[in-house]
Structure 1
Amino acid sequence: MKRIVYYGIQDIRLEEAEIPTPGPGEVVVKNKVTLTCGTDCKMFMRGYRYQPPHLIGHEASGDVVAVGEGVTNFKIGDRVVAHNTAPCHKCYWCKKGQHSMCTDLPSNLGAYGEYQLIPKNIVNETMFKLPDDMEYKQAALTEPLSCAVYGISNVTIELGDTVVVNGCGPIGLMFIRLAYLRGARVIACDRQENRLALAAKLGAAETINIDEKDQIQAVRDLTEDSRGVDVAIEAAGLPQVWEIAFRQVRAGGQVLCFGGTKKDTTVNIDCTRMHYEQITIKGVFHTTPQHVNAAFELLKMGAIQAEDFVEHEYKIEDTEAAIREHAAGKVIKNCIVYDD
């Protein structure tokens, strides 16, 4: 089979490998589609926390082609989507109910490949059969949407609140949609007009091109007496945007920092304002099985549509071009399609 292996910054290679054989509780999926992700882009352009070489890709859906001993909830031929992790339920953080912080998080990295081995924990907890009317591209959005669902569950949004989302990449756009569905008035900030247009389609009441306006003052001016927004969401992965979000929020407001930054970066926060204005800053990473399930249900309901997020199709041989185009902000997401 063909698969992509990550060897370092701007170095991914197409290699041949044996089709995996499932062990007890495991499943092998023949991928039909894999979506590009912002994490793939960051990994490719600047590196990530895993030591190369390693497999890459984690947003895929396909067909079950082999099942291991003891698997009863899936069979050969099932159309499925598998999340990329599932917690161990044994470590300290799992026992505290903080499943995104699990220290033994089995992963199925390797979605940029014709076949993929799905670990037992994921098969049991975060893998789903597709309804007959769900397309593979729609199902493959489960992983990123689950992260946005988890993120937005960590802030309190009341009906009629004003929420700003800084960064209108795929996750930011999903935050916009979820905040809108919660009854918020949403402001979207980005420099790409194609992304701002989609933000408006997904529910943003106001859009701000940050190359044309001051990102902080423009947002504050859209609130009464320029007091600031109730919730500011950072979805860009840049420390300066973390600081911008803090300066957009009102006294008593909440800041959600979701975008992962480069290692060893820091931010400057006005401690006096944070203390006396009682501002809450929350960092959130990854997701949990509860929110993966919620995301899959939202996709079945059509809360977001693949046609809005997935733009161009590539073959596995052209994975680098697909990632580069995504990283340049020219598209929301690209799709690797595997031949039958």
Structure 2
Amino acid sequence: MKAAVLRAPKVLQLSDIATPEAAPGELVLRVRAAMVCGTDLRILTGRKTKGVRFPSVIGHEFAGEVVQVGDGVTQFKTGDRVCMDPVIPCRACAYCKTGHENVCLHRQAMGYEFDGAFAEYIRIPAIALTAGNVFMMPAQMSFESAALAEPLACCINGQRNAGVQVGDTVVVLGAGPIGLMHAALARLSGARQVIVSEPNAARRQAAVDRGVEHMCDPSTESVMEFVKARTDGLGADVVILAIGVPQLANESLNLVRKGGHVNLFAGFSAGETSNIDVNLIHYNEIVVTGASALRRRDYELALNMLSAGQIDANSLITHRYEVADSLAAFDEAGSGRALKVAIHNV
């Protein structure tokens, strides 16, 4: 089969590799849609290394069709349309036992410990089926929409940590696909107003097209003044950092009101640090949280929200490629022109 194989940092090659076979307890899917994630770009450039293998196939946002069922699998059959929460918890460590499986001590993931979805076929390991990580797609749902359940589920986890409430003013820094998902979720949670800061004009327009009330261009105007002017000088209730720029962490603290919440949602590259004014946290009693991956319940909720049309998934996908053009798909995803880039296997 054709696959985009990561040979080394910054070395991604389209290769012919062996088509996987389903061992007992496993599935093989024909990948019908896979999305290029910002994390995939960080893996490719060597800025994310944990769990990454060489050579390997990356890609963790996907949906597909069952083409082979291993012995002992009874819950799925050939032809089923399925998608998967790619983060597989051990379900036995201290974090799993307390409901924090997203930070499981022994978690494994597709596109990391197991070959991922930038290929014509993908093998789903038995532990994923046993853990309940594989989901049947709703009948009317497209493969593209289902492939977006994973990033939306991660945003749901971040929103929970951020504590968005009815009537809040929410600021989202970054209007990439993740920032747009956060803006949509904040509105669904009852936010009174959503403010998005984004230097890219096309992405600012994308946010406006999706109902964002207030757009700020940080390259030409002060984000702090913009936010203060719309909050009676107090600042936002919640600030979500949806772009992996460590220097913006301290800006996030300056944008939130006393007693407000800051969620450092975006992933940062290994070794990156940020200088923050700890007195802002101390005297203003700011709650600062992170966001790591997702839980299976988040994935199921995201799948249902996408299926019901509460989040418009298709409008986030701006570019589409076939598996044979995977390298071009990565180039486009890293260009800043695209929102979400899909790789198809039709």
Q: TM-score range by the shorter chain?
A: over 0.9
- Structure 2 residue aligned with 1:327: 334
Contact 1:86–1:288 at 8 Å: present in 2 too?
A: no
> Unaligned stretches of 5+ in structure 2?
none
Could you tell me how far 1:227 is from its partner in structure 2? 1.3
For residues 187-336 of structure 1, what are the structure 2 equivalents within 5 Å?
Answer: 187-224=195-232, 226-336=233-343
Range with greater deviation from structure 2 (44-53 or 285-294): 44-53
SS in 2 for 1:300: helix
> Unaligned stretches of 5+ in structure 1?
none
Whole-angstrom distance in 1 between the partners of 2:229 and 2:43: 36
Could you tell me how far 1:9 is from its partner in structure 2? 3.1
1:9/1:249 Cα in 2 relative to 1: closer, same or farther (>3 Å)? same
Whole-angstrom distance in 2 between the partners of 1:80 and 1:12: 27
Q: How many residues align?
A: 338
SS in 2 for 1:153: helix
Contact 1:168–1:190 at 8 Å: present in 2 too?
A: yes
For residues 14-163 of structure 1, what are the structure 2 equivalents within 5 Å?
Answer: 14-49=14-49, 50-109=52-111, 110-124=116-130, 125-163=132-170
Report Cα offsets for 1:290-322 as digits up to 9, x if no partner. Answer: 111111111111122232111222122321221
Range with greater deviation from structure 2 (10-19 or 284-293): 10-19
Is 2:13 the counterpart of 1:7?
no
1:303/1:121 Cα in 2 relative to 1: closer, same or farther (>3 Å)? farther
Counterpart amino acid of residue 201 in structure 1: D
Report Cα offsets for 1:224-255 as digits up to 9, x if no partner. Answer: 1x211000000101101222111111111000
Whole-angstrom distance in 2 between the partners of 1:96 and 1:133: 35
Contact 2:87–2:102 at 8 Å: present in 1 too?
A: no
Runs of 4+ more than 6 Å apart: none
Could you tell me how far 1:166 is from its partner in structure 2? 0.4
1:43/1:215 Cα in 2 relative to 1: closer, same or farther (>3 Å)? farther
Whole-angstrom distance in 2 between the partners of 1:59 and 1:220: 37
Counterpart amino acid of residue 274 in structure 2: V
Whole-angstrom distance in 2 between the partners of 1:306 and 1:282: 26
SS in 2 for 1:203: coil
Whole-angstrom distance in 2 between the partners of 1:289 and 1:234: 23
Contact 2:162–2:240 at 8 Å: present in 1 too?
A: no
Contact 1:3–1:15 at 8 Å: present in 2 too?
A: yes
RMSD: 1.5
Aligned residues with identical type, % of pairs? 35
Whole-angstrom distance in 1 between the partners of 2:244 and 2:224: 17
Whole-angstrom distance in 2 between the partners of 1:106 and 1:237: 23
Contact 2:262–2:289 at 8 Å: present in 1 too?
A: yes
Whole-angstrom distance in 2 between the partners of 1:203 and 1:297: 21
Whole-angstrom distance in 1 between the partners of 2:30 and 2:53: 26
Counterpart amino acid of residue 34 in structure 1: A
Is 2:178 the counterpart of 1:171?
yes
Whole-angstrom distance in 2 between the partners of 1:162 and 1:123: 40
Whole-angstrom distance in 2 between the partners of 1:268 and 1:307: 38
Could you tell me how far 1:51 is from its partner in structure 2? 4.6
